[in-house]
C-alpha cells in the first residue's frame, strides 16, 4: 500500500473543507495508469475548487488539481511504460476525478500526453493548463486567418497565467501585442514577456458602446462579461476573438452589431475536453514557440502546504503568472 500526500476536499457539516492529508492509494480514482506526480500547478479553476466559491466539485472526497506532470509508475495500457514522462490537462481532473495536487495519481491512459523531449516535467507544469490553453487560443487565431501583419492582438488578463503565456507566444510569432491588465505596476513585467503596449483593464471593464473605434485585428480574452463585450466592439473588420475565461463574469451583455456589421468571429476555446490530436499539436507547438527564459520569468514555485492559502489570492487576481506546486515538498 502506497501512502501519498494530497490536498483533500471534504464535505463536513455541510461545509466545504480543504486540508493537506495523507491517504493510501486505495482511495485513488479508477484508471489504468499510475503516475508519480512531480509537479502540479495552481490555476484559477483550482482556486474555485479549493475555496468552494463555485460548486464545481461533483463528489467528495476530492483532490483538486486540474493538471500534473510526472513519470509513469505502473501501466495496464500498452501505450504507456514505466518511466514515460507525461502531462495531463483537464478531463474533469479535480472536479469529477481525483486531480493532480497529490504525490500519486491513477488516471486513464487516454488522458495522458507524452512530453516532448525538450520539455521537462517542471517546464510542463510551468506551462500547465494555462499555457496549454493559451496555445489553443493562438492556434485558433491562426486557423481563422489572423496573421501578424493584420494588426495588433489584444490579450486581456495579461498578468495571469493564460494571458502571460499568450503574450509570450504571440510576440515570438511576430504579432504586436497589446496587454490589458488591472495591475499597471506589472507593465515592465509584461513588456519583458513581449507586450508592445499596456492597456489599463479599467478601459474595458465598464459597459460601453456596442460599436467602438476599430483597434485590434484579434484578441484572446480571459475575462468575459463587459470586458469581452468591449473587446469585440473594438475589433477590426473581419477580426477574431478567442474567448476562454470568465474572471470578470459569466454574463455576456452584447449586441449583434459587431458580428453583422464588422464580420467579427467570436470563437470559444475549451481546454478540458479537447481531442488528443489537438492536445498533441498544442504541446508540440509549445515546445518550439515558447521562449523558456520568458516562461521561467512567470513562475513561482511552492509546496503542497502553501496551496490552500494561495487559492483565494488567485481568485482575487493577486498572483502574477504561473504557480508551480512541487508536490513532494511540504
The pLDDT value recorded for residue 58 is: 83
Check whether 264 has a pLDDT greater than 60: yes
Whole-angstrom distance, CA of residue 180 vs CA of residue 158: 6
Segment 271-310, tens digit of pLDDT: 999 999 999 999 999 999 999 999 988 899 999 999 999 9
Joined grid coordinates for residue 43 = 490555476
Instruction: Mean pLDDT check: name the lowest of 14-18, 31-35, 76-80, 151-155.
Output: 14-18
Q: Report the interhelical angle of 121-143 vs 276-289 (nearest 10°).
A: 110
Q: Which of 69, 91, 80, 97 is nearest to 33 (CA)?
A: 80
Strand, helix or coil at 223?
Answer: coil
DSSP 8-class letter at 78: T
The pLDDT value recorded for residue 299 is: 93
The pLDDT value recorded for residue 3 is: 65
Q: Tell me which residue has cell 496587454.
A: 179
Q: Tell me which residue has cell 489599463.
A: 200
The pLDDT value recorded for residue 23 is: 85
Check whether 17 has a pLDDT greater than 70: yes
The pLDDT value recorded for residue 2 is: 63
Segment 52-93, tens digit of pLDDT: 877 788 888 999 999 999 999 999 999 999 999 999 999 999
Check whether 1 has a pLDDT greater than 60: no
Check whether 321 has a pLDDT greater than 90: no
Q: What is the mean pLDDT of residues 223-244?
A: 97
The pLDDT value recorded for residue 234 is: 98
The pLDDT value recorded for residue 316 is: 87
The pLDDT value recorded for residue 243 is: 98
Band the pLDDT of 8: cuts 50, 70, 90: very high
Higher pLDDT, 117 or 12: 117
Q: What is the mean pLDDT of residues 236-247?
A: 95
Task: List the 216-221 sheet strands across, edge first.
Answer: 197-200, 177-181, 153-155, 216-221, 235-243, 265-268
Q: What is the mean pLDDT of residues 126-145?
A: 96
Residues above pLDDT 90, as percent of the chain: 82
Domains of the chain with bracketed CATH = 3-115+295-326 (3.90.180.10), 129-268 (3.40.50.720)
Band the pLDDT of 26: cuts 50, 70, 90: confident
Whole-angstrom distance, CA of residue 115 vs CA of residue 32: 19
Whole-angstrom distance, CA of residue 298 vs CA of residue 37: 21
User: Is residue 99 a contact partner of residue 129, using CB atoms and an 8 Å limit?
Assistant: no
Amino acid at each position: 500500500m502506497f501512502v501519498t500526500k494530497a490536498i483533500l476536499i471534504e464535505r463536513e457539516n455541510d461545509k466545504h473543507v480543504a486540508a493537506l492529508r495523507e491517504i493510501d492509494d486505495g482511495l485513488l480514482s479508477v484508471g489504468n495508469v499510475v503516475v508519480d506526480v512531480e509537479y502540479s500547478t495552481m490555476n484559477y479553476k483550482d482556486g474555485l475548487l479549493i475555496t468552494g466559491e463555485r460548486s464545481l466539485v461533483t463528489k467528495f472526497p476530492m483532490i483538486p488539481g486540474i493538471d500534473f506532470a510526472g513519470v509513469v509508475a505502473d501501466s495496464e495500457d500498452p501505450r504507456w511504460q514505466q518511466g514515460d514522462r507525461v502531462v495531463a490537462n483537464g478531463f474533469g481532473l479535480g472536479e469529477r476525478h481525483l486531480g493532480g495536487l497529490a504525490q500519486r495519481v491513477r488516471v486513464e491512459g487516454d488522458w495522458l500526453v507524452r512530453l516532448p523531449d525538450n520539455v521537462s516535467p517542471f517546464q510542463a507544469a510551468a506551462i500547465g493548463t494555462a499555457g496549454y490553453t493559451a496555445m489553443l487560443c493562438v492556434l485558433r487565431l491562426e486557423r481563422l486567418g489572423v496573421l501578424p501583419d493584420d494588426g495588433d492582438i489584444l490579450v486581456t488578463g495579461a498578468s495571469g497565467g493564460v494571458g502571460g503565456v499568450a503574450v509570450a507566444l504571440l510576440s515570438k510569432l511576430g504579432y504586436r501585442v497589446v496587454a490589458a491588465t488591472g495591475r499597471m505596476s506589472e507593465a515592465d513585467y509584461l513588456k519583458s514577456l513581449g507586450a508592445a503596449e499596456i492597456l489599463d483593464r479599467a478601459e474595458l471593464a465598464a459597459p460601453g458602446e456596442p460599436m467602438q473605434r476599430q483597434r485590434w485585428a484579434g484578441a484572446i480574452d480571459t475575462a468575459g462579461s463587459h470586458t469581452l463585450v468591449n473587446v469585440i466592439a473594438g475589433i477590426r473588420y473581419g477580426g477574431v476573438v478567442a474567448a476562454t475565461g470568465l474572471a470578470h463574469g459569466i454574463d455576456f451583455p452584447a449586441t449583434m452589431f459587431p458580428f453583422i456589421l464588422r464580420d467579427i468571429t467570436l470563437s470559444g476555446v475549451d481546454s478540458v475536453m479537447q481531442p488528443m490530436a489537438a492536445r498533441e499539436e498544442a504541446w508540440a507547438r509549445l515546445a518550439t514557440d515558447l521562449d523558456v527564459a520568458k516562461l521561467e520569468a512567470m513562475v513561482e514555485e511552492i509546496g503542497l502546504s502553501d496551496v490552500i492559502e494561495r487559492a483565494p489570492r488567485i481568485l482575487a487576481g493577486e498572483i502574477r503568472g504561473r504557480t508551480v506546486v512541487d508536490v513532494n515538498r511540504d
